[in-house]
Amino acid sequence: MWPFGNKNKNRRQDRPRVLEVNRGGVRLRSDRLRLASKAMAFSLLALLGLFLMWRSWSWLMDQLIYNNPTFSIQTIDIQSDGVISPEQIRRWADLKVGQNLFALDLNRVKRDLELVPMIASVSVERVLPQTLRLRITEREAVAQVLQPMGPGVRDPVVFTLDASGFVMLPVSPGQRAIPWGATNQFLPVITGVNYVELRPGRVVESPQVKAALRLITLFERSPMAGLVDIRWIDLTSPEVMVVQTSQGARISFGMDNLERQLWRWRAVHDYVQRQGRALASLDLSVANNVPYTTVDAAAVPPASPKPAKTVRTTSRKKDV
């Protein structure tokens, strides 16, 4: 009987322990649920508080800043170093008197203006309480390319290039701050260009075009400046640039050592002038014994006076 008695006793002793373990697990889950509920409630309250703070801050900013007539734009101060009119710049930037100075997106204004090919860089600044200030740096055209159109179209498309080869469309008279003057009609014309490369807002990659632009830039500082005018640069030949002056002379240049070739041009020019002659042609692409032809100096028209170039300064202003 002892074994049976021990078995029943053991059962009675084990049974409360199982119940206690179960009660402990239920209590632990209940505590965890309470903690999770409290944490969720606290999180929701915190989010609600942050939302209310954000809405209150937005309302306060609207009342004190963005809808405050004290910061309504009354003056749009636009200054440019080129030829584009301030009114045209204002239209491109979509600026109006009465806009809120702080609500205006300055990065948007800067981005929109710098997408215009003629504009190189823009500075936009708020001047409290009611002034918006813009400073514009324009690209300066140094040459032009005339792209012929199809049959029945009379006028070619005109592209202008700055010294780096950046392609632009010319500034139309209605977009200019000054009368049409020392710009497109007085720019040298480059011919023999692959028109596929002429995409406004892009840089021409042709080594020939870049050489022609470098020649134009160096010519303005060379000893020939003021004596003759460059009217055309023909790039038909891949290794030689043929320059035609307003006096009718044709000067051939190699693609390299342009400064030295300009000095040789001046030396030959002075030599034939002392003989009462004028250059009709000159081949500077030849290293030694450059060939040239002359005509009677009396038959050559003098260099036409060029109108004064537009002074690139930030003195022009428009307050709207």
Which segments in the chain show pLDDT lower than 70?
1-25, 56-64, 149-154, 180-185, 303-320
Contact 184, 141 (CB under 8 A): yes
* Tens digit of each residue's pLDDT (9 = 90 or more) over 169-226: 988 888 888 776 544 557 999 999 998 889 999 999 999 999 999 999 999 999 999 8
Give the DSSP per-residue string, 208-230: HHHHHHHHHHHHHTSTTBTTB-E
Helices (H), the chain: 2-61, 86-93, 106-114, 207-220, 258-274
Q: Residue 231 and residue 189: Cα distance in Å, rounded?
A: 6
**Do the Cβ atoms of 269 and 224 come closer than 8 Å?**
yes
Domain 141-299 adopts which CATH fold? Answer: Rossmann fold (3.40.50)
- Residue 49 confidence (pLDDT): 79
Strand-by-strand arrangement of the 75-80 sheet: 119-127, 131-138, 75-80, 318-319
CB contact at 8 A, 310 and 176: no
Q: Looking at residue 99, what is its pLDDT?
A: 93
Q: Residue 50's pLDDT is what?
A: 81
Tens of pLDDT, residue by residue over 239-254, are 999 999 998 999 999 9
The structure tokens listed for 1 are: 């009987």
pLDDT of residue 142: 94
Residue 135's pLDDT is 97
CATH topology of domain 69-138: Ubiquitin-like (UB roll) (3.10.20)
pLDDT for position 53: 77
- d(CA 189, CA 257) in angstroms, rounded, equals 22
How much is the pLDDT for 58?
Answer: 67
Please list the residues that pair with 147 across neighbouring strands: 157
Whether 28 and 20 have beta carbons less than 8 Å apart is answered as no
